[in-house]
Homo-oligomer: A and B are copies of this chain.
Amino acid sequence: MMKTISESRCFGGVQGVYAHDSAVTGCAMTFGLFLPPEAREGPVPVLWYLSGLTCTHENAMVKAGAQAWAAEHGIAVAFPDTSPRGPDVADDEAFDMGQGAGFYVNATRAPWAAHFRMWDYVTDELPRLLVNAFPVDEERQAITGHSMGGHGALTAAMNLPDRYRSVSAFAPVSHPSRSDWGRRQFAAYLGDDESDWAAHDSTLLMRAAGFPGEVLIDQGTADAFLDRLMPEALAGAMAARRQAGQMRMQPGYDHSYFFVASFMADHIAFHAEALWA
């Protein structure tokens, strides 16, 4: 059962917020979905936007400025939450662990395994729900994200290259198995065997196989979290793999949504080209 929380007209389309009981995470989940004007005529391509630490479905929906460009290109944008939530869901005092910090994995360890199954939620349950309930085209999906969500987008695309036509990221957590944004969380969610982490590390996935299409990554040079994001590891892996695409180091930009918004037009145009090809 899905419940409509709100629907607002936006750039000629509709920005909706919906809630549903997730079988995968075992709790109520809320997501945003922007549908462009073209969705009134039939299914449209969909771009997934995965958010970063502490975010809900709402942050990017209200701050990233994606709707203007999505409307222009006739593509939908889906904004999932970043973790299961609620009083019955395990949590941690740290902002980068537990609720708001699902890291887009299926946890296998207590107390997280009961609800923290964001990998299955974002790559399986929510896409099926969207395709069934809204005019979005299952065959035309692309994915992007910011910070932890950039990690989610890159790992989803490299693990499921037939699913996503294109992938991009804003300041992604690029090498979590070697980062303070990754090691503690993967140990808690997935256990101490680091071989179980490799499928969720973009640098390792890039070294192993890369992505069949082009990859677009933007990273601000004034980002306060560069030591945890480790763009140099992913950039090296991209170059060594001869991965088509580009990592753009953007002078003076920080980690905020002001950075994300500044380059959103480029990212949506990049995805639109692949989605409408």
Interface residues of A (CB under 8 A from B): 8-12, 15, 62-63, 65, 67-68, 220, 222, 250-254, 256-259, 261-262, 265
Contacts and interface: CB of A to CB of B under 8 A. Distances in A.
A8 B261 contact: no
A10 B262 contact: yes
26 contacts: A8-B253, A8-B254, A8-B256, A8-B258, A9-B220, A9-B222, A9-B250, A9-B251, A9-B253, A9-B254, A9-B258, A9-B259, A9-B262, A10-B259, A11-B261, A11-B262, A15-B258, A62-B63, A62-B257, A63-B63, A65-B65, A65-B68, A65-B261, A67-B261, A67-B262, A68-B265
A64 B250 CA distance: 23
Contact of A252 (B9, B251, B253): B9
Contacts of A63: 62-63
Output the residue of A10, A222, A253 with the most chain B CB within 10 A: A10
Contact residues of A: prevailing secondary structure = mixed
Q: How many copies does the complex hold?
A: 2
A65 B65 CA distance: 6
Contacts of A67: 258, 261-262
Output the residue of A62, A250, A257 with the most chain B CB within 10 A: A62
Nearest to A61: B258
A11 B258 CA distance: 8
Contacts of A256: 8
Nearest to A7: B254
Nearest to A62: B63
Contacts of A222: 9
A56 to B, nearest CB: 15
A258 B33 CA distance: 13
A245 B94 CA distance: 53
Given A8-B256, A9-B258, 16 more contacts: A8-B253, A9-B222, A9-B250, A9-B252, A9-B254, A9-B259, A9-B262, A10-B258, A11-B262, A62-B63, A65-B65, A67-B258, A67-B261, A68-B261, A68-B262, A68-B265
Contacts of A15: 258
A61 to B, nearest CB: 9
A247 B261 CA distance: 29
Contacts of A265: 68
Nearest to A220: B9
A258 B67 CA distance: 9
A77 to B, nearest CB: 13
Contacts of A65: 65, 68, 261
Contacts of A257: 62
Given A62-B62, A63-B62, A63-B63, A12 B68 contact: no
